Structure 1
C-alpha cells in the first residue's frame, strides 16, 4: 500500500482545486454555473475535512507522538481558517458583492494547506499505517455519504 493515503487524498485535493478554478473561471461569463461549482467545491471540501477530522487524525493520535500532534494541530488550524474564508466568499457571493480578494486569499490558504498535507501529514500516514488500517480507512471512506 505504498503511498496509498498520499495518492488517494492528493487526488481528491486536485479535484477540489479544479472545482475552485472552474468557479473562478466561470464567475463572470456564467455566474449560475460558477455558483454550482462553488457549492460543489464547498460541500466536497467540507467532506474532505471531515475525513481528516473523523478518520485520519484519530488514527494518527493513537500513535501518541509529539511530531504527529503538531501536524494535526497545524492541519486543524489551517482548516479552521479555510472554513472561515469559504464562509466569507459564500457570504459575498450571496450578497452579489465583489469577492476577488477573498477568493484569492482562499486560494492561497488552500494551496498551503494541501501542500502541507501532501508533503507532511499524508506521508506520515503512509509510513505509520499498516495494511489493515489502510483497508479499514478505505472502507470507511467508501461508506461515508457524499
Structure 2
C-alpha cells in the first residue's frame, strides 16, 4: 500500500511539473504579422478603390494642384497619428508636398477603426511605399483623442 501511495505521489508531482512547463504565457497584444498585413492589404485595396481612387488615382499619383500624391510623401510615411486624423477629420487646408501646393478639400470618412487601419496599411505599402502597418488599436486611440 505504501509503495502504491509513493507511486501516486511521484506521478502527481510529474503531472504538476509538466503542466507548469506547458502553461501558456499571458496574452500579448497582437502585432501585425504577415497574415494580418496581407489581409489588411486585400481589404485596404478594396476600400481604396471605393473611396480614394477618384482623387488620388489608381497609381497613387494624385491630381496636380488638387489632390496630393500618396507616393513616398511625409504625410503617408510619416507620423501615423497625423495620417489617421486626416481620414477621421478630413483636411480642408492647402498642403505643400515636394514644392507643389494641393488645395482640394478631403472629406472625413466615417469608417470603422479596422477599415481605416486597412486602407492606411494599403496606402503605406503600395505605390512604392514601404511603411509599418496601421492597426485598429492605433486608429481607436487617435479617435478617442478627437472626441
Greater per-residue strand proportion: 2
TM-score (norm 2): 0.28
Larger radius of gyration: 2
Query: TM-score if structure 1 supplies the norm length?
Result: 0.28
